[in-house]
Structure 1
Amino acid sequence: MSGTSGEQGQFFSMEIANKALVDGNFEEALKHFFVCIKMLPVERRGRYEDQFAAAIHGWITQSSEHAARAVNLYPQIRDLFPETVRTKIAIVKAVQISGQGKWLLNCLPIVKEAMALTTNPEDRAILRIARVNLTTVPFPQWHIRMVNDTMRNEFFLQALTASIKSKSSVVFDIGSGTGLLSVMAARMSNLVIALEEDVCLAMISKEVLKRNKVADRVTVHAKNSMQFETSQNADVIVSETMDCCCFGERIIETFLDAHVRFAHENTIFIPQKATVYVRLFQCREIFDIHCQDYSGIRYRSEYVKINDEPTEQPYWCAAREDYAEFEFLSPPEELHTADFSRLDVLQKSLRCEGSTKLKPKKKGVAHGFTIHFVADLTGTGVLVDSGDCHAWDYGVVPFKEPCVVDVGQELDVSWKLVNNRLDVYNNFYSEKLQKAGSLIQYQTISMDRLHKIRDDSYFKQMMAEITINELPFTEDISFCVPAECVLKTYPNKEPTGTIIAGFIRHDGSLNQDNMFRIEQCVGHRDFVKKIVPSQVRIYGHLFYSDYIHFDARPDPTAHCKVDLATVRNFNLREMRDIRLTQRNDIVLASEEFEMIFFDNDPNNYRNDLYETVTKEITVQPNLGAADGVLYEFEVLGVRNSKLRPVAAFLFQDRIRTGDQPITLNFDYHLGEMLISLKED
């Protein structure tokens, strides 16, 4: 088909469409494809679908605004290719790249439609991965654990009950999430304004409100409260926007703005106050995650304060339960109290600093500070202690060096709170360390690079795969410090014949960026002859864990009689950074099975052997229940579960297993993995 004339004499042709596609002018290409393909019989359109799919994918990824336009145009796009799935997959993948939460959820019906059409195993694998991504990527991973915290929920219900005086009270719920507190408030008030900037959570909350029959009393706005305009004043303002160190989600700025624009002189704020506390802790495992020494350099994570300058991140987050040898060495000491109920006092919390003394209760080796908070929700003793609640981790500030502490000492700690960022400083490093000063070479690197120093179990075997003559022609794309140290001793020569790859992230999951880098390095360049490590296997076990089950799936008994069944569609499907030596809650529920074997011959990547892999795996359970599949890596025949964390894929719900084998789908596509129950 050479071309056709459109309205106002404009000429459309496949030639122009293809040229525009090659030139990256995707919008122009789509205009011509739309008109020309529509003129063809349905049975002839398929020959142009790959070009159209490439154009729509490129167009969506050019601008975040195009995601919305593509979803709105989908009915017309579907009419072009009603019986095939390539374009549907292209749209879903491109919208996913855009990261637009609302439109990610709107892609779920497209995935469902494509799954019903295709019988191609590889397409079904891609769609299964996409379906899970669409429900987990836009959904905050911590949210289910938060709504499952019975203590937190009951305290907020008490506070709302005490604060909402009548049905005519106006309630603002700032950071309303999936609507738990909004439903509670709507049972006591006829007017609730829910403000949630996460579009995904706001959309889900509307369904939650309908399920609980309070939708007529709650107005949901998918906006940050500071961008919300209204003339309505609130009688009660509730905001559960406290991170593990209280202030990290900008609750101070949020309440300052609310005082000025939403409050009247008698408005009640929930919480009314919050106090942050600091403690010393001992846990060698946490220290080793953040601190590794190699070849005369002391490498530290972005959470470790090397000097008085602020770090990239003020604190890390960790749960005590994840570390078997975690121990507090001092009682909590108050750092700062923010009074949310008084505008003049709260303004001082935007920028303040101070110091305190920590008094060890026992002798030990301190590896850092923990930070937690206690929030007074009503000013009358309804206290939420984040250290006692499951919803919050501890904030962790790892030390750059361990510190021996003893009973009777008073250890100086200083802190700064600036624009919602809380930094805590160790002022009691040993005199010897302080005198060494610049003689000690510290360097901040990523957690992934630190992990490669710590987990050197297969390093010797990997480097043994490279001959001395090959080392000058070797490129490290894994950013492995030990490998870099070896390669620095040889002159760098071209062309690259060997690449060193890193398949494992610091959290135990597959490194998708690594898979992309391999493709970029190998591609069609024949001079790359070797990838090391040459072999990587991933093994799995069925497992169950009540602790993980609680973190991953809504627990109706915890929700104070609010129906959050809608949230079950967004159950967590992957859990990472599981340290088996620190956990006694995880029970293996099957023998081991192989998930995938990467034979890293460069020709396998040139031939797209690992672009999409899908297979069924039959597993015999040996216990009565399973939450999912725990997986770990074997590199060149070496495993290291002592130092290397593992990860897990979770089933949608816990399954009860009998004597019969169960069948799993293993799917891999472009560096993304998924293992799930086989669909009937």
Structure 2
Amino acid sequence: MSCRVPHIDTIPKKDNSSDYLKKAHHFYEQSNFPKAYKYFVQYFESLNSISDVSPEDQGIFTGVVTKIATVLEETDDVEELLKCYLQTINLFPDNYFILNSLGAYMFKLGENDIAKKYLELALESHPYFLPVKRNLLHLSWNEMPRWHFRMMNDRLRNQAYDKAITSLISKGYKNAIDIGAGCGLLSLIASKNPEASVVAIEESKTLARMCKDVLIENNVKNVVIMNCYSTDIKEPLGKCNLIVTETFDVALFGERVLESIHHALSTLKTEDDFKVVPARAKVYITGLERA
């Protein structure tokens, strides 16, 4: 059975919209979902207003779309599947079931920004629809590594950063660049001094948006956010005599920290008298002997 989305002009025009609806129900009862889809769409487009569609018929049509989408997804026919979903949403913009399905599919394709858009529209249409809440949660987990939550709740780490950054800014190192700003914690610490000027650089769109939200929530005015890799910047961004960063993994060097710091000191730093936080690290090495 072919499940390609039909061209509507292949169906002869009729004057009576009820003819389309009768045929749509007939093919639906015969489990011929592609033809049911054809006649449902023709029925909808023959009406004076889409609001004339009964909830029952919209529900049946949603079921038809779901059946077709299942086959198209199994055959990996992305173009036809998206066409089917988008045509349905154009007809019924508040169909939370289809919005959720499209969002989930875009998430599966790795298009997280697009997925989030449709999932949020689904949640707006039906705030208590549990599947969309679950999909948004999965999307959040995918965008934000779980280790990030433990890092952000490391009180000793955060207090050490706070002490070092606050002390240096009070001593005049007030033109700061935060490399790998994440959700903005170090920028927020630096911004506590009203004389400080901070540029927060974060390559992740998700974290950059979160950083913006955090700064707005805290009414911060002296931080500028840049959504890019710091190493892509080719010239100074203004005065800079303080570099702060938390681009470290458990092995210290996994997040290109040496490359980032070298670039910052050669391109972004503008003062001979400058500081970097953190300023140093200890690396412990253990020798192993093969048995």
Q: Where do 5+ consecutive residues of structure 1 fail to align?
A: 1-11, 17-31, 118-123, 280-412, 414-425, 431-680
CA contact (8 A) 2:183 2:211 kept: yes
Match of 1:238 in 2: 244
CA contact (8 A) 2:116 2:136 kept: no
Structure-1 residue corresponding to 2:278: 271
**Equivalent in the alignment of 1:94:** 105
Alignment of 1:455-466 (within 5 A): none
Q: In the alignment, which residue of structure 1 is the partner of 2:8?
A: 13
Partner of 2:117: 106
Aligned residue in 1 for 2:204: 198
- What is the match of residue 138 of structure 2? 133
**Equivalents in 2 of 1:266, 1:239: separation in Å?**
18
- RMSD over aligned Cα atoms: 3.8
1:375-390 aligned within 5 A: none
Shift of residue 155, structure 1, vs aligned partner: 0.9
Residue pair 2:173, 2:242 contacting (<8 A) in 1 also: no
In 2 relative to 1, CA 104–83 (structure 1 residues): closer, same or farther, beyond 3 Å? closer
| Identical-residue share of aligned pairs (%) | 25
Pair 1:208–1:104, CA change in 2 (3 A): farther
Deviation at 1:48, TM superposition (A): 5.4
Deviation for aligned residue 1:87: 1.9
* C-alpha spacing 1:134/1:238, structure 2 compared with 1 (3 Å): same
- State the Cα distance separating 1:106 from its structure 2 match: 3.4
1:234 Cα shift? 1.9
Instruction: Kindly state the Cα deviation for residue 105 of structure 1 after the two structures are TM-superposed.
Output: 4.1
* Residues 416-450 of structure 1: CA deviation (Å, up to 9, x unaligned): xxxxxxxxxx2x223xxxxxxxxxxxxxxxxxxxx
Q: Which has the higher strand share?
A: 1
- Distance in 2, Cα, partners of 1:144 & 1:105: 21
Tell me if the contact between 1:14 and 1:36 (Cα under 8 Å) persists in the aligned partners. Answer: no
Q: Residue type matched to 1:99 in 2?
A: G
Q: 1:246-257 maps to which residues of 2 (within 5 A)?
A: 246-257=252-263
In structure 1, the residue corresponding to 2:160 is in which secondary structure? helix
* Offset of residue 86 of structure 1: 3.5
Cα distance per residue 1:324-369 (max 9 Å; x no partner) = xxxxxxxxxxxxxxxxxxxxxxxxxxxxxxxxxxxxxxxxxxxxxx
Task: In structure 2, give the amino acid aligned to 1:197.
Answer: E
Structure 1 residue 13, shift from structure 2 partner: 2.3
Equivalent positions of 1:514-553 (< 5 A) are none
**Aligned equivalents of 1:260, 1:220: Cα separation in 2:** 21
Q: TM-score, normalised by structure 1?
A: 0.31
Q: Distance in 2 between matches of 1:157 and 1:217?
A: 17
- Superposed, 1:81-230 pairs within 5 Å as 81-82=92-93, 84-116=95-127, 124=129, 126-165=131-170, 169-188=174-193, 189-214=195-220, 216-230=221-235
SS in 2 for 1:164: helix
Q: Separation in 1 of the partners of 2:9 and 2:224?
A: 48
Relative distance call for 1:111 and 1:187 in structure 2 (3 A) is same
Distance 1:173 1:191, change over 3 A: same
2:126 counterpart SS class: helix
Q: 1:80 aligns with which of 74, 88, 91?
A: 91
Structure 2 counterparts to residues 288-307 of structure 1, below 5 A = none
- Cα distance in 1 between the residues matched to 2:173 and 2:258: 27
SS at match of 1:275: coil
Residue 230 of structure 1, CA deviation? 4.9
How far 1:251 moved relative to its partner?
Answer: 0.3
CA displacement at 1:250 relative to structure 2: 1.1
Q: Per the alignment, do residues 129 and 193 of structure 1 end up closer, same or farther by CA in structure 2, a change over 3 Å counting? A: same
1:243-288 C-alpha deviation (Å, 9 max, x unpaired): 1111111101111111222112333211222121135xxxxxxxxx
Q: Which letter does structure 2 place at the counterpart of 1:96? A: F
Change (3 A) 1:209 1:219: same
Report what 1:54 is aligned to.
69
Does the Cα contact within 8 Å between 1:235 and 1:267 map onto a contact in 2? yes
Between the aligned partners of 2:236 and 2:132, the Cα distance in structure 1 is: 46
Structure with more of its chain in helix, by fraction: 2
Give the CA deviation at 1:61: 9.3
Any unmatched runs of 5+ in structure 2?
Answer: 1-6, 12-37
SS at match of 1:277: coil
1:38 deviates by 7.0
CA distance, structure 2, for counterparts of residue 132 and residue 207 of structure 1: 18
TM-score calculated relative to the size of structure 2 = 0.68
